[in-house]
Chains A and B, each alone.
Chain A
Amino acid sequence: MSAALEVSGLRVRRGAREVIRAATVSVPCAALSVILGRNGSGKSTFLRVVAGLLPKEAGNVRALGVEVEPATFARRSRLCGYLAQQTSVVFPFRVEDYVLTGRGGVAGLVPRDIDRERAAVALAQAGIVALRDRPVTELSGGELQLVRIARVLAQDTPLLLLDEPITHLDIAHQIQVLSLLRDLVAAGRTVVTVLHDATLALLFGNEFLYVLDGVVSRADGPAAMRDETLLEAIYGVPLRVIEPAGAAAVVPRLPPARPRPMVAPAPDR
């Protein structure tokens, strides 16, 4: 399997803080790779640098063999699509028009037939053809997320970089989005996504990266990621991996509940 992403000696500084101290990892093609890590650990920064949206201090990033630099914008956008963590929708664009903007990098002043075609394919892939004429301002969070992913799909890139695509979604929409990603991978695309739900990550991911103390590492396959010690190190809390019926679930290891005091303690003076 050839590498979709090759990162070596990457260091990223944001202001005074060195967010990524060391990252030398690679991600294989046609796999669903998940990035795990605590809030603020640098997952998003890593993804943005890999997408060429943030400058790096040192190191090398190659996406499908092509050097990624913020300067190589247009070329990079043909290789990888990027989904930001969050967005605010201001104008009530129709879903179809919203998705069509994903073609902005390759189309000129007006979308061509090929652009409309790609947008239509993206809508079909995301399973939201029925939403086509709805204003994006009136969608539910789950629907909007599918529309945003369709927008990135319309770019028609072999590599997709997604930052927390399922955060804020209910379990049904989470499964819908992750199933879509799995289908895309089955169809030959490479997906790299940040997820916060370790259980769903273990369920859907093929490959795992994790960010710990500014270092990005790759876990040695899905089995290694089920390791409680590793998960506890990543999240800094006691965790347990239980495996009912083959699927692994990551659950917190809570201290035994203390009996609640009958009377509220008097406030300190």
Chain B
Amino acid sequence: MKSPLRALAFAVFATAVVGGSLLVGPGGSVNSAEAARWVAGLLTGGHGTEPDSLLGTVLLGIRLPRILLTFLVGAALAASGAGLQAIFRNPLVDPYIMGISSGAAFGAALAIASGVLPVQPLAFLGGGIAVAASYLIASHRRNSSTVAMILAGVVVSGVFTAGLTVVQFVSDPFKLQSIVHWTMGSLHTADWGSLRAVAPPAMAGTVLLLLWSWRLNLLAIGDDEAMSAGVHPGRERLLVLLAATVATSSCVAVAGVIAFYGLFVPHGVRWIAGADNRRVVPLSAIAGGTLLVLLDDLARSLTSYELPIGVFTMLLGAPFFIVLMRRARIGWGE
């Protein structure tokens, strides 16, 4: 398939999923057919679409912000994963492995436990400290190898996870409950307010990654190659790292830790569309957003109690990834 056509297909599919998701919910409360009629009415400007009706409140006040937030989180995590994989020249990297997610989770838990500190900024601070720590540990030796980078990330991630446990341990039962719920993902609390809080940083980071997608190719090829071409690999790597950290931290602050999502999605995209980051980053964002909305639909409708999205992505993602690893040529170097 030609690439503009493929991009169009992706976009149409994404729109269909987002639109269709409006009609999905836990059984009983709102009838899907009724919801479809209401949406159709809204689109054609017909009657019976008062926003303050029960149906209107459910669709526009609860479902729409949740769907948009979910899409944004999926897109930002997947784009961050693609960016990190490129700058560390390693297909095994994602925001979780680099310690960003754990750092952000720790920061947010600290905010919740304190009861007064703001969650978003602390999540970002935690993510930033974690990734800076990984970076400094790994670059202590003059040329930081990707292996050192990942090892540092794993260690830092472990430390922050331990820190999170400490925060949980010393918190009172009520706060503990909200921390635990939040760590597992709190998309069910999504409303226009949380969307407004998350959208600016998540979108800023994602847009920067999208703008940088071609230059990621150069960074992914190697430092010597970048320097020969007159590019400072260190500076550009830091910029991409910052974008990924901002995007990921803001997602973690609202959706909890969604481990390995940023690893799975770019791999799936690369399998379909090749390694060129001009395609991998935007397609990862679209596919990542769409897939997370789909997964959230399942999480909302399969059972009467909601499964946390992080658990859901892990349970579905792992088998998919194992199949991908075994069947497809993933771009591991030799």
Contacts and interface: CB of A to CB of B under 8 A. Distances in A.
Interface of A: 51, 53, 73-78, 81-84, 87-94, 97-98, 100-107, 109-111, 135, 137, 151-152, 155
A143 B248 CA distance: 39
Given A87-B224, A151-B225, A110 B230 contact: no
A159 to B, nearest CB: 12
Contacts of B329: 92, 137
21 contacts: A51-B228, A53-B224, A76-B230, A77-B228, A78-B230, A83-B228, A84-B224, A87-B221, A90-B220, A90-B333, A93-B217, A93-B221, A97-B217, A97-B276, A98-B221, A102-B228, A104-B226, A105-B231, A109-B211, A110-B278, A135-B274
B275 interface: yes
A126 B101 CA distance: 45
Nearest to B226: A104
Q: Which 3 A-B pairs have the closest CB atoms?
A: A77-B230, A105-B230, A84-B224
Q: Which of B232, B274, B334 has the most CB of A within 10 A?
A: B274
Contacts of B274: 92-94, 135
A84 B223 CA distance: 10
Nearest to A70: B227
Contact of A73 (B217, B232, B331): B232
B145 to A, nearest CB: 11
Given A84-B224, A87-B224, A104 B231 contact: yes
Given A82-B228, A102-B229, A88 B333 contact: yes
B89 interface: yes
B224 A91 contact: no
Contact of B225 (A73, A84, A92, A106): A84
B218 interface: yes
A51 B270 CA distance: 34
A105 B169 CA distance: 51
A94 B277 CA distance: 11
A73 B224 contact: no
A177 B192 CA distance: 61
B188 interface: no
Given A98-B221, A101-B218, A109-B211, A90 B89 contact: yes
B215 interface: yes
Interface string B216-255: 0110111011111111100000000000000000000000
Given A105-B229, A109-B215, A93 B222 contact: no
Given A101-B221, A109-B212, A91 B230 contact: no
B214 interface: yes
A103 B218 CA distance: 9
Given A82-B224, A104-B218, A93 B276 contact: yes
B90 interface: yes
A118 to B, nearest CB: 12
Contacts of A107: 214
B262 interface: no
Given A94-B274, A104-B215, A89 B230 contact: no
A176 to B, nearest CB: 21
A101 B276 contact: no
A77 B229 contact: yes
Contacts of B231: 73, 77, 104-105
Contact of A84 (B228, B270, B331, B332): B228
Interface in B45-103: 86, 89-91
Contacts of A91: 86, 89, 91, 220, 270, 275, 331
Contact of B228 (A75, A81, A92, A110): A81
A99 to B, nearest CB: 10
A25 to B, nearest CB: 22
Contacts of B275: 91-94, 97, 135
Interface string B264-302: 000000100011101000000000000000000000000
Contacts of B232: 73
A146 B225 CA distance: 14
A231 B334 CA distance: 37
Nearest to A52: B227
A27 to B, nearest CB: 18
A98 B329 CA distance: 18
Contacts of B276: 93-94, 97
A37 B244 CA distance: 45
Contacts of A102: 225, 228-229
Contacts of B227: 51, 53, 73, 82
B319 to A, nearest CB: 24
Contacts of B224: 53, 82, 84, 87
Nearest to B280: A91
Nearest to A157: B228
